[in-house]
Structure 1
Amino acid sequence: MKPKNILFLVVATVIVAAIAYTLTGTESPEAYKEKIEAERERQFKFIRYNIDSPLTEEQKSGFKELDFYPIDPAFKVKALMVPVENKKVRVVPLTDGSEERYIEHSYAEFELKGKPQKLLLLQAIDEPDMRNFFLAFADETSGLETYGGGRYINARQDGKNSITLDFNLAYNPYCAYNPDFACPIPPRENIMEIAIEAGEKNYEK
């Protein structure tokens, strides 16, 4: 093959790869895995060492690691945000019987495991960044491999009407580690009828 043709082929390959990257908004599998692992390491260090950790000092002394499902990119989904009409305040019960208030902002609609999903996105009343949302959910692993009270995802709107939900980043509420903490219970809309085998597993005391 002539050098000119080789150069054309290389340039064409780079352009196609760039277009594919732009259209899918994805990153390389290696970079994605490193990002998730770094976040999991950050979580571990917070739980193990931070003064605000939900663990008692006795728990910290024997705490070696957090338990997670293997990283699976299939559980990272791009969802359509459908605004809640006539937004109102949702009173969310906590595990100790008290309550917190959030704004019912929108529904995240997507498909996972071949099934359509629709989850309610909540926003803290005092949230300073209107692109940040709180998702509390439960699924068919709850009470078995994962915490019975559900898990959480912090999500950020990344398009005019879209948001990425990465269940590999699903984490346990503080009450999964220590019952002295009060945690929001997932709304009924967010009880999923599939197994989310991604993110953090239950904490074994």
Structure 2
Amino acid sequence: MKNNTIIILIISVVVLTAVVYTLTETETPEDYIEKIEAERERQFKFIRFNYESPLTDEQKLKFKKLEFYPIDPAYKVKARMILIEERKVREVPLTDGTKEKYLEHSWAEFELNGKPEKLLLLQAISEPDKRNFFLAFADSTSAVETYGGGRYINARQDGKNSITIDFNMAYNPYCAYNPDYGCPLPPRENLLEIAIPVGEKNYEK
């Protein structure tokens, strides 16, 4: 009897600990907005001050801010990863006419505003962390309010068959600031017909 009581107590403690952990790890809307704003501030400081910034010294003197859409949590989606069985190495064209090699890894399937969407997840050949993916996309805002060559998202697998894609974190490639850089263009599979009105807007030179 005592053994049963001890087991029940242990199970109760484990369950309670799990519940407390889940509650404390749950991100509030305020925390989410604060996280996005902090990342935007980090981007600004990098572009404005870092020696690896794509801006020229002359551009840095005139640079005041980055332009973003308002934050919308609806554009943070959990996608199902569909592995590509026969993975191929793709030569992705760059804006300067050269090419870079990426592995066609998987499809990310998700719903956005009630409609199914699908994007191709690429992985750099030299990527050491196999849970990190490169996502380049374009949408109907491209060449209008956002950079015509598309935007990027750094996506990380967060489950056995799932990955979170946060379009609020979409950012411009270096060539949006300086045409001397060669940047990968979105694959044809990632040319969305819908608008993605979140993330970074085009850089006004």
Counterpart-to-counterpart distance in 1, 2:119 and 2:62: 37
Partner residue of 1:161? Answer: 161
Counterpart-to-counterpart distance in 1, 2:165 and 2:175: 23
Partner residue of 2:62? Answer: 62
Partner residue of 1:133? Answer: 133
- Return structure 1 stretches of 4+ with deviation > 4 angstroms: none
- Give the CA deviation at 1:27: 1.3
Which runs of 5 or more residues in structure 2 are unaligned? 1-15
- Give the CA deviation at 1:98: 0.2
The correspondence of residues 19-34 of structure 1 with structure 2, limited to 5 A, is: 22=22, 27-34=27-34
Partner residue of 1:102? Answer: 102
Counterpart-to-counterpart distance in 1, 2:149 and 2:184: 9
The answer to whether the aligner puts 1:75 opposite 2:75 as a matched pair is yes
Residues 103-133 of structure 1, C-alpha deviations (whole Å, 9 max, x = no match): 0000000011221111000000010000000
Residues 14-73 of structure 1, C-alpha deviations (whole Å, 9 max, x = no match): x8xx59x959x8510100000000000000000000001000000000101000000000
Counterpart-to-counterpart distance in 2, 1:26 and 1:173: 31
Identical pairs, percent: 76
- Give the CA deviation at 1:85: 1.7
The answer to whether the aligner puts 1:120 opposite 2:120 as a matched pair is yes
Partner residue of 1:10? Answer: none
Partner residue of 1:192? Answer: 192
Which residue identity does 2:151 align to in structure 1?
Answer: R
Counterpart-to-counterpart distance in 1, 2:190 and 2:135: 8
Counterpart-to-counterpart distance in 1, 2:26 and 2:71: 15
**Secondary structure of the structure 2 residue equivalent to 1:102:** strand
After superposition, the CA RMSD in angstroms is 1.6
**TM value normalised by structure 1:** 0.88
Which residue identity does 2:92 align to in structure 1?
Answer: V
Which residue identity does 1:87 align to in structure 2?
Answer: R
Which residue identity does 2:102 align to in structure 1?
Answer: Y
Counterpart-to-counterpart distance in 1, 2:39 and 2:184: 22
**Secondary structure of the structure 1 residue equivalent to 2:110:** strand
Which residue identity does 2:28 align to in structure 1?
Answer: S
Which runs of 5 or more residues in structure 1 are unaligned? 1-14
Counterpart-to-counterpart distance in 1, 2:35 and 2:114: 26
**Secondary structure of the structure 1 residue equivalent to 2:159:** coil
